[in-house]
Every structure is written in structure tokens, then in C-alpha cells.
């Protein structure tokens, strides 16, 4: 990340976080142990903080600091790239890797909704087909990551401060 290109750095950071996130989701889906999801979230938050601090330190100068809006935008951009990677994993996991597991989870969830009797059965079957479409899965993963990025971005951008130059210059 020696370059200061915003989108290049955001894509690199998003790819790193996205790949580790996929690894945690793969372990969670394969072993059905939820702690891998928590580890993935902790890693996600920690790496967002690390990359934002690093970018802030690299881009702040004595004349101009890397301000709140720039830090916030960087976190949201990283989250968008993580969402794209997670969307691709969601499609693969639901369609190929763990199709039976995902189908059983969707059947159980829609069975609970059907038991309420609020929605007709035709509507629920159509909704289930829509939920399993790759486009909806990719869009929901990206949108979910963007919402998470906005929430975490507000906190991270507020807490990460640019380095202060305390050198006193003699006049």
C-alpha cells in the first residue's frame, strides 16, 4: 500500500479482509460451529481499524490531515469490496458447496413463516425462489456489508485520529 490511490488501496484491503472472511464462513458452514462467525467478525473489525489507521498515517501531512469524511469513505469502500467477495461466496455456498444445508435452513425458516398463516403458500414459494436467486444473494451480501461498513465506519472514523506533529519549530 505504498501508493496513495484510494480505490486501489480500498480494493487491496477489501480483498484481504474478504478472503479471510470467506475462510471463516467456510469453516463455519463446514463444521457448523458458530464461533468461526464470531472470529470472522472480530477479524473484520480489527483489520478495518488497522487498515484505516495505516491509511490515515500515510495520507496525513503537516499541512493537511486525513479527515473524518475521508476515513469514513475509506471504510465504506473497503466494505463494498468485501461485500462483492462475500456475495460470490454466498452464491457458491448456496448453489454448490452446501446446497443441502442452505436448502434445509431456508425450508425451516419459510416453514415457520408459513405456520403463522399470514402469507399464502404460493407467495412463500415464490419468495423462496427469489431468495435463492444468485442476483439477490449477491445484492444482499453487498448491501449487508455496506450497512455494516457505514455503522463501523462511523465508529472507526471517529476514533482513528491522524498522527499529530508535536515538533516545535523555532521562529
Distance CA 89, CA 85 (A): 6
Choose from 7-11, 98-102, 117-121 the range with maximum mean pLDDT: 7-11
Model confidence, pTM: 0.83
pLDDT grade for 73, boundaries at 50, 70 and 90: very high
Distance CA 40, CA 89 (A): 14
User: Does the structure show a pLDDT above 60 at 71?
Assistant: yes
Distance CA 76, CA 8 (A): 14
Average pLDDT, integer, range 141-150: 94
Average pLDDT, integer, range 10-14: 94
pLDDT grade for 165, boundaries at 50, 70 and 90: low
Q: What is the pLDDT of residue 2?
A: 43
Q: What is the pLDDT of residue 4?
A: 65
Distance CA 71, CA 67 (A): 6
Amino acid at each position: 500500500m505504498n501508493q496513495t490511490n484510494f480505490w486501489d488501496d480500498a480494493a487491496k484491503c477489501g480483498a484481504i479482509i474478504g478472503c479471510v472472511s470467506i475462510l471463516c464462513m467456510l469453516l463455519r458452514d463446514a463444521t457448523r460451529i458458530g464461533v468461526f462467525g464470531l472470529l470472522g467478525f472480530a477479524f473484520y473489525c480489527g483489520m478495518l481499524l488497522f487498515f484505516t489507521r495505516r491509511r490515515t498515517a500515510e495520507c496525513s501531512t503537516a499541512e493537511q490531515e486525513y479527515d473524518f469524511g475521508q476515513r469514513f469513505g475509506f471504510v465504506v469502500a473497503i466494505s463494498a469490496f468485501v461485500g462483492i467477495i462475500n456475495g460470490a461466496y454466498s452464491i457458491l455456498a448456496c448453489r454448490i458447496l452446501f446446497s443441502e444445508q442452505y436448502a434445509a435452513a431456508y425450508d425451516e425458516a419459510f416453514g415457520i413463516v408459513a405456520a403463522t398463516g399470514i402469507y399464502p403458500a404460493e407467495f412463500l414459494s415464490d419468495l423462496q425462489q427469489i431468495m435463492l436467486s444468485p442476483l439477490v444473494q449477491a445484492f444482499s451480501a453487498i448491501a449487508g456489508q455496506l450497512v455494516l461498513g457505514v455503522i463501523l465506519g462511523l465508529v472507526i472514523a471517529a476514533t482513528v485520529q491522524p498522527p499529530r506533529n508535536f515538533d516545535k519549530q523555532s521562529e
